[in-house]
Chains A and B, each alone.
Chain A
Amino acid sequence: MGYVRGLKCRECGREYPVDPIYVCEFCFGPLEVVYDYKKIKRALTIKNIEKREKNLWRYKELLPIDGEPQVGLNSGYTPLVKADNLARELGVKELYVKDDTVVHPTLSFKDRVVAVALTKAKEFGFDTVACASTGNLAHSVSAHGAKAGFKRFVFIPSSLEPSKIVASLVYEPNLVAVDGNYDEVNRLCSEIANKYKWAFVNINIRPFYAEGSKTQGFEIIEQLGWEAPDNVVVPCASGSLLTKIWKSFKEFKEIGILKDLQTKVFAAQAAGCSPITTAIKQGTDVIRPVKPNTVAKSLAIGNPADGYYASHIVKETGGHGEDVSDEEIIEGIKLLARTEGIFAETAGGVTVAATRKLIRQGLIGRNERTVICITGNGLKTQEALAGHTSDVHYIKPNMAAFEDVLLKIGHKE
């Protein structure tokens, strides 16, 4: 049996049953899942968790399903990499990379939210799933949906990186590329969700879907030895991931797994789409929507649904926000790759570059323990690196030609 009490409006508190709904009928606020933490505390203990399979469902009592997990049985439990080389370059003592570049099967943290959304869609009896996506979600829904036997409609902006489009197409969903930005795709999908009885993972299934992000936070705590970090840096598109990482830390404290919680939460965005970090830096409550223009397409949401809540959490925890230019994003990708051997997509470059700025500004302490969330694999956005990588040495197949290269690069034996 599940541990979900129902849904509740985050604004006015009105309660609703567990249904594929996402907006409060009274005040139009977003709905959120409510759990019975007392019951969960008895069932979800460190001892129990440690006995379970190494996937995201090891924390299933804190996930909004009634029965057993049905999708994403190999997703999650990604490495928490101790990033000593990167730490040294950034001038901090202790840095970890939560490496979601390797989530099974589609190499981004979206596999977490889709695992939960599709399991819930099965529980609700849907036969068709859909999503509005900046790329990673389309890929994840296409893949998980294929294995789970769903009909699939995925909607993307037509300007998405070609490699992300191919990545989604291989599973043979219905891929609809809309001539517009993400916000326009999302608006259209809301209309479609209203008319067709489909499980739109980030629309009518959103309250359940969003909960999947918490697993990234639960894993961070577990992998730090059941402790919270001093700082966590999270990239923001809609802002949902940041809110759920914080929720995961608070829930572990609520059920007694975490003794102490003083984490500062930091938001990272691209300068070309920074409605959340701009509000944070200006100390304002009001998120001003923007028209995105950045190489970080996975973060290109100009009107972030969870922007207000994300900025609030940053303020409440004593964190801050930073945004970075496209050049800094590429540098961030390369820095992470050459120090830690991890190839992140553009959102990862944003996070690394923003972390560097926050450290330089003294907002992240050099003697503190910091975790940065790397949310997707760089193989999916290789186009972004075109023209920015180091040269290949092309030679004829003889030793002299090769030794010319050694001379050129100043190599000493």
Chain B
Amino acid sequence: MAVKVRIPTPLQRLTQGKEEVECTPGTVIDIINNLDAQYPGIAERISEGGKVRRFVNVYLNEEDIRFLQAENTLVKDGDEVSIVPAIAGGAHR
């Protein structure tokens, strides 16, 4: 088992079109860096200076990480992480 990460539509072009990817457990910021190693460029889209961007929501098993330990929230084997732009509807014209 690994960690399942759901990727929002606007970022799927960075993950070869995949809407769900996997990575190894760790803190949320570890996960983001891990993803960036597999899919370069994704980290700077959703984080800055080690913190998740203000208008990006990250959910751990449906719970907003802002109400957990934010970037330091521990993500275990089998957990599901979702990355969702806060302003619904995304960035497409």
Contacts and interface: CB of A to CB of B under 8 A. Distances in A.
Contacts, number: 60
A190 B93 CA distance: 12
A290 to B, nearest CB: 12
A194 B53 CA distance: 23
Interface string B34-72: 000000000001101000011110000000101100000
A173 interface: no
Given A194-B92, A286-B66, A22 B53 contact: no
A186 B88 CA distance: 8
Contacts of B67: 288
Contact of A203 (B54, B56, B89): B89
A29 B55 contact: yes
A11 B45 CA distance: 12
A332 B91 CA distance: 41
A193 interface: yes
User: How big is the B interface, by class?
Assistant: 20 to 34
A228 to B, nearest CB: 29
Given A28-B55, A286-B66, A305 B10 contact: no
A19 B54 contact: no
Nearest to A193: B89
A198 interface: no
Contact of B88 (A20, A25, A190, A289): A190
Contact of A29 (B54, B89, B90, B92): B54
A308 interface: yes
Contacts of A87: none
Interface in B20-37: none
Interface of A: 11-12, 19-30, 186-187, 190-191, 193-194, 203, 286, 288-289, 305, 308
